[in-house]
Homo-oligomer: A and B are copies of this chain.
């Protein structure tokens, strides 16, 4: 606002050429269309001098491309891990000159649909539909009117939209392996989910797949999971309660908490019972929430790759845009590896007698 912005026509007039020429040169198609070097140079320098910037709206209106992608999430606020996902997407997008529209639905399907529509009204080049904890989602109608990606989510029903999510099964294996490798064979308890694969928070993919991975490794190593405690909310309080419950009946040697907040609650219950981590009880958890590095001793946790997830979603989105109109194949699921963050919460157990 304020001063009128410089247009293509201004640049053309100042250079003494047509708008076609300026447009071609600035779009980098000068060589291709054999605009003379001299003209190209003059165009570029006047554009620079005048401070010309393309009007994305008019380009969008003309070409259908707006260098913009939409990011619809259920919540950004509840988890700052989510912030990293958005950040990853933003950076990847920004690298290619794209901007991100952000919208938060609060999980309300009506709001989801409204956001998707509002973004299409603005002619986004694609939409990332993100869940803030790994779960199945109902794909909102209209999402697949353009390129789209599901982030940290899998479609509840069939959908042609590809997905990007963490490799939770492998993360489950990694967590179990940490305990097994440290020599733990007995007194292993789960906090947050289990014992059955359906004893998980609603729609949670993370819980289910982590369980699958853990049970594989524990079974293979002959480790029996003594008890498992499904928690509804995975907050510190829930971890605290579950751990107290465990302590009422058992003398645990190792706790696998399904996320770091549960583990934080477990720490509190253990401290109250005068049990020390890791000397009395080893603790492993998931997510690499900041709290994991704040507690003492620091938690060993399997990190959610939020940043990579966001970046990968953008990448998949671009690939999808390019691959448009090709024969539809089965929707693709991309898995991003989760990495072990070593803390000091696991004790190495002396080799058992054989």
**Which stretch (A118-126, A179-187, A203-211, A212-220) binds chain B?**
A118-126
Q: Nearest-CB distance from A27 to chain B (Å)?
A: 15
Partner of A324, one of B1, B60, B82, B271: B1
Q: Which of A190-239 contact B (CB under 8 A)?
A: 235-237
Partner of A76, one of B86, B119, B261: B86
**Which stretch (A48-56, A164-172, A329-337, A338-346) binds chain B?**
A48-56
Partner of A294, one of B2, B117, B147, B261: B261
- Also in contact, A118 and B90, with CB within 8 A (given A61-B57, A61-B58): no
A122 to B261, CA, bound (A): 41
B residues near A251, Cβ cutoff 8 Å: none
> Does A102 count as interface, using CB distance less than 8 angstroms?
yes
Count contacts on A: residues with CB < 8 A to the other chain: 59
Q: Mark A59-99, 1 if CB is under 8 A from B, else 0.
A: 01100001010010000111110111011001100100101
Partner of A56, one of B83, B87, B123, B294: B123
- Contact A117 B53, beta carbon cutoff 8 Å: yes
B residues near A101, Cβ cutoff 8 Å: 68, 99-102
B residues near A2, Cβ cutoff 8 Å: 144-146
> Does A103 count as interface, using CB distance less than 8 angstroms?
yes
Q: Which of A267-301 contact B (CB under 8 A)?
A: 268, 271, 291, 294, 296
- Contact A76 B66, beta carbon cutoff 8 Å: no
Closest to A124 in B: B99
- Contact A86 B102, beta carbon cutoff 8 Å: yes
- Contact B122 A56, beta carbon cutoff 8 Å: yes
- Also in contact, A57 and B123, with CB within 8 A (given A1-B146, A2-B145, A294-B261): yes
Closest to A70 in B: B99
B residues near A61, Cβ cutoff 8 Å: 55, 57-58, 61
A296 to B271, CA, bound (A): 11
Q: Nearest-CB distance from A277 to chain B (Å)?
A: 13
Q: Nearest-CB distance from A316 to chain B (Å)?
A: 16
Closest to A79 in B: B80
Q: Nearest-CB distance from A280 to chain B (Å)?
A: 17
> Does A129 count as interface, using CB distance less than 8 angstroms?
no
B residues near A94, Cβ cutoff 8 Å: 103, 115
Q: In the complex, which of the residues A61, A265, A268, A324 has the most CB atoms of chain B within 10 Å of its own CB atom?
A: A61
| Listed A/B pairs (21) with beta-carbon separation below 8 Å | A1-B146, A3-B145, A55-B61, A55-B123, A57-B123, A58-B61, A71-B102, A76-B86, A77-B80, A77-B84, A78-B80, A78-B83, A80-B82, A90-B102, A90-B103, A99-B103, A99-B119, A99-B122, A100-B103, A264-B294, A268-B296
Query: What are the nearest 8 A-B pairs in CB distance?
Result: A80-B80, A77-B83, A102-B102, A1-B146, A236-B294, A77-B87, A76-B83, A56-B122
Q: Which A positions have Cβ atoms within 8 angstroms of B?
A: 1-3, 5, 53-58, 60-61, 66, 68, 71, 76-80, 82-84, 86-87, 90-91, 94, 97, 99-104, 115, 117-123, 144-147, 235-237, 261, 264-265, 268, 271, 291, 294, 296, 324
A61-B61, A268-B296 given; name 14 further pairs at CB < 8 Å: A1-B145, A54-B121, A55-B61, A71-B102, A77-B87, A80-B80, A83-B83, A90-B103, A91-B104, A97-B118, A100-B103, A101-B101, A235-B294, A261-B294
